[in-house]
Amino acid sequence: MPTLENTADAAPSIADAPTGTSEHLVAAGAFSETERNAVYRAIETRRDVRDQFRPDPLPDALIRRLLEAAHSAPSVGFMQPWNFVLIREAKTRERVWQAFHQANEEACAMFEGDRRAQYQRLKLEGIRKAPLSICITCDTKRGGPVVLGRTHNPDTDVYSTVCAVQNLWLAARAEGVGVGWVSIFHEDAIKAILGIPEHVKIVAWLCVGYIDELYDMPELAVKGWRNRLPLDKLVFEEGWQDCEDM
Ligand SMILES: Cc1cc2nc3c(=O)[nH]c(=O)nc-3n(C[C@H](O)[C@H](O)[C@H](O)COP(=O)(O)O)c2cc1C
């Protein structure tokens, strides 16, 4: 018999709403310098990893920490629209790689001349090499038809899910684990492989595994595809400003 706490529809009634919540307010000072440095280090050295994965499996406790980090993400109306589908089977990853491969050929054809040749040389996934894939999805129906904060922008469920992806990505960096985000596939092809229902969107396919080294700057910059834009050109004061096409 499920308890009230663990039933899916255990939303508190208005009568249950607490009158005093101040005992939940805790100190919010800055972190120590060492802690701050660690946070910024994870942010600045996080990389999209495509090829440096080791084959050894990740311990369950570590995977759990990554998922807890993802599940701590902000979400519109506390909707928590994410699910995490863990895929370790090589056979399934091979089918997903085939879907990637087909879409990647289509993508390649969208570029012209030298750019196409350059695209062909890039490795844009680690689906078969990384021992674990995590498909992170967004359930557009979670929390019912009217979700606080999502009333005027339905895309906020996907924004929330992306926050979960980024949390996992940063936690993985701190754990010495590489993550590579693959988005080059037809969503329906992956949904069919994993049996994902229609109202659930695929937000990210993540290739995950231990790494011993990683690039010190985005691989696409290392390989001459595109450089980081100067931050100062992206910051406007008090309103939109003219900027050349970047
Ligand atoms: C939404 C999203 C989709 C992405 N899809 C791919 C992809 O299909 N293949 C790939 O190689 N990298 C993909 N990336 C990684 C980006 O190319 C990478 O983040 C960017 O080049 C900057 O490099 P960095 O993450 O190492 O800093 C994706 C990143 C995001 C945020």
Q: Which domain holds residue 164?
A: 48-214
Determine the distance separating the centroid of ligand 1 and the alpha carbon of 42, expressed in angstroms.
17
Contact predicate 99/93, CB 8 Å: no
At 60 the three-state DSSP class reads helix
Nearest to 161 by CA among 182, 146, 144, 140: 140
Count of structural domains, the chain: 1
Let me know if residue 243 belongs to a domain: no
CATH number for the domain that contains residue 118: 3.40.109.10
pLDDT of the chain along its 246 residues, tens only? 333 344 445 556 655 666 678 999 999 999 999 999 999 999 999 999 999 999 999 999 999 999 999 999 999 999 999 999 999 999 999 999 999 999 999 999 999 999 999 999 999 999 999 999 999 999 999 999 999 999 999 999 999 999 999 999 999 999 999 999 999 999 999 999 999 999 999 999 999 999 999 999 999 999 999 999 999 999 999 999 988 788
Let me know if residue 37 belongs to a domain: no
Let me know if residue 64 belongs to a domain: yes
Let me know if residue 103 belongs to a domain: yes
Let me know if residue 204 belongs to a domain: yes
The pTM for the full model equals 0.93
Q: Is 214 in the pocket of ligand 1 (CB under 6 A)?
A: no
Dihedral of the alpha carbons of 81, 68, 124, 197, in degrees to the nearest 10 = -30
Let me know if residue 94 belongs to a domain: yes
| Nearest atom (ligand 1) to Cα of 182 | 8
Let me know if residue 226 belongs to a domain: no
Q: Is 122 in the pocket of ligand 1 (CB under 6 A)?
A: no
Q: Is 183 in the pocket of ligand 1 (CB under 6 A)?
A: yes
Let me know if residue 128 belongs to a domain: yes
Return the best residue to mutate from 183, 187, 207, 215 for the ligand 1 pocket (most ligand atoms within 8 A of CB): 183
